[in-house]
């Protein structure tokens, strides 16, 4: 079991043993488990960082066999090397067409194919309000043959005591899982709800849509509406829509784009650190990811390097994630985020290489100042070594 999955499982086990008086601690454990599950979904497919009825009566899950979309022929390979593509805007357009009438804001998306990283995944998010309060939607799509990853999208065994899960098997052999998780609100306020619909096809295509009864990113203390907008049946309809076959094909036939390995990222980053700063760590098995243990810790420098070879892809990521970045004389886009305890620096170089750095502590409370300043992180992210 992956380390993140083990941690999430351990947190869930600990939460199940809590008393009612420990509800805030239990909720934190459940939230952390869901964060890890979400992160696992992304990292299982790629290194890019741009990269679960309401609870109260029946707890458990069942499996229902229902008619589903008719089987479709997979998109053929493209011998001319152009492949197929689906832009972030096209993903948003399809997603919005499948939602009930309402007002949509805060749209973001990264597509697949067309010079975007083959490692994916495609992602989209938006805030939706049908008159009953804002709700956040987060969508992702990826492809894997990893049996552990595919199994993690299925209903858990044994069933969780803190949510419900149901599975629907479609005619083409795809399985749609719907997770429903609830968190108690503070001082009698409305709790927060997270409902996830995930389809896994026999070919290993995965698409998930998470909906929340609040519109902000992260985990607020209370919801802004009684329930997420879509019912479980509507979630199934959305994630199993035939329109997503084009996205699956774009991911499946994305052309190789020669990303750096985790070991290469590690080797390029190490000489950029101040002397004596590095004490351990290694490159990840996933493309583009490395973690370096730092002195004066325990601190870890997370490094994520992604190459966006296509001009349209670079334009998309620049508009979506670097809209408020500083543009340097050489055309590099630089973004610094110091709003949290983890200083983050992002740089998108003119050649399409995105370098993302974050320093974080393995301790929840750490009074030791981070060993790398924002200025030092900027120097690493902007170094010319990433241009080769």
Mean pLDDT of 313-332: 89
> Comparing 376 with 31, which gets the higher pLDDT?
376
Answer whether 356's CB lies under 8 Å from 335's CB: no
pLDDT, one tens digit per residue, over 24-79 is: 433 344 344 444 445 444 444 444 444 422 222 222 323 333 333 333 333 444 43
Q: Which of 339, 338, 360, 337 is nearest to 347 (CA)?
A: 337
Nearest-10 crossing angle of helices 23-45, 3-16: 160
pLDDT, one tens digit per residue, over 162-190 is: 678 999 999 999 999 999 988 765 544 55
d(CA 135, CA 198): 18
Give me the DSSP letters along 8-75: HHHHHHHHHT--GGGHHHHHHHHHHHHHHHHHHHHHHH-S-S-----TTS--SEEEEE---PPP-PPP
Instruction: Classify strands 326-327 and 134-143 as parallel, antiparallel or unpaired.
Output: unpaired
- Structural domains in the chain, CATH included, are 48-70+78-252 (no CATH), 262-387 (3.40.1000)
The highest-confidence range among 135-144, 247-256, 310-319, by mean pLDDT, is: 135-144
What pLDDT, on a 0 to 100 scale, did the predictor assign at position 132? 96
Does position 157 have pLDDT exceeding 80, yes or no?
no
Does position 383 have pLDDT exceeding 70, yes or no?
yes
What pLDDT, on a 0 to 100 scale, did the predictor assign at position 323? 87
Mean pLDDT of 208-217: 93
Mean pLDDT of 277-298: 71
pLDDT, one tens digit per residue, over 335-363 is: 998 876 678 999 999 988 999 999 887 66
Prediction pTM value: 0.68
Q: Which two tokens stand for residue 278?
A: 């590095």
């Amino acid at each position: 079991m992956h380390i993140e999955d083990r941690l999430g499982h351990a947190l869930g086990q600990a939460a199940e043993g809590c008393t009612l008086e420990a509800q805030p601690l239990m909720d934190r454990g459940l939230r952390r488990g869901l964060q890890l599950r979400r992160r696992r979904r992304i990292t299982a497919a790629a290194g890019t960082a741009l990269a679960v009825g309401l609870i109260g009566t029946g707890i458990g899950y069942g499996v229902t066999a229902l008619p589903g979309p008719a089987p479709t022929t997979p998109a053929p390979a493209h011998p001319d090397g152009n492949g197929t593509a689906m832009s972030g805007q096209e993903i948003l357009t399809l997603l919005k067409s499948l939602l009930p009438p309402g007002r949509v804001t805060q749209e973001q998306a990264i597509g697949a194919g067309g010079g975007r990283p083959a490692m994916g995944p495609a992602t989209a998010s938006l805030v939706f309000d049908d008159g009953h309060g804002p709700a956040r939607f987060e969508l992702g799509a990826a492809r894997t043959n990893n049996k552990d990853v595919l199994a993690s999208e299925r209903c858990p065994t044994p069933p969780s005591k803190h949510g419900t899960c149901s599975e629907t098997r479609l005619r083409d052999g795809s399985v749609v899982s719907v997770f429903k998780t609830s968190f108690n609100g503070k001082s009698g306020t409305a709790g927060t709800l997270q409902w996830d619909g995930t389809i896994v096809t026999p070919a290993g295509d995965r698409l998930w849509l998470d909906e929340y009864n609040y519109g902000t990113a992260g985990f607020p203390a209370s919801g802004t509406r009684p329930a997420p907008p879509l019912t479980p049946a509507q979630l199934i309809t959305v994630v199993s829509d035939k329109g997503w076959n084009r996205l699956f094909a774009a991911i499946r036939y994305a052309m190789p784009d020669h990303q750096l390995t985790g070991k290469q990222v590690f080797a390029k980053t190490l000489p950029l650190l101040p002397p004596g700063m590095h004490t351990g760590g290694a490159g990840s098995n996933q493309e583009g990811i490395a973690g370096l243990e730092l002195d004066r810790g325990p601190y870890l420098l997370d490094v994520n390097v992604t190459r966006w070879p296509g001009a349209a892809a670079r334009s998309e990521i620049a508009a979506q994630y670097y809209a408020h970045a500083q543009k340097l004389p050489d055309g590099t886009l630089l973004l610094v985020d110091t709003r949290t305890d983890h200083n983050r620096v992002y740089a998108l170089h003119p050649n399409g290489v995105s370098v993302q750095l974050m320093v974080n502590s393995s301790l929840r409370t750490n009074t030791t100042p981070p060993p790398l300043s924002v200025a030092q992180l900027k120097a690493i992210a902007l170094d010319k070594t990433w241009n080769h």
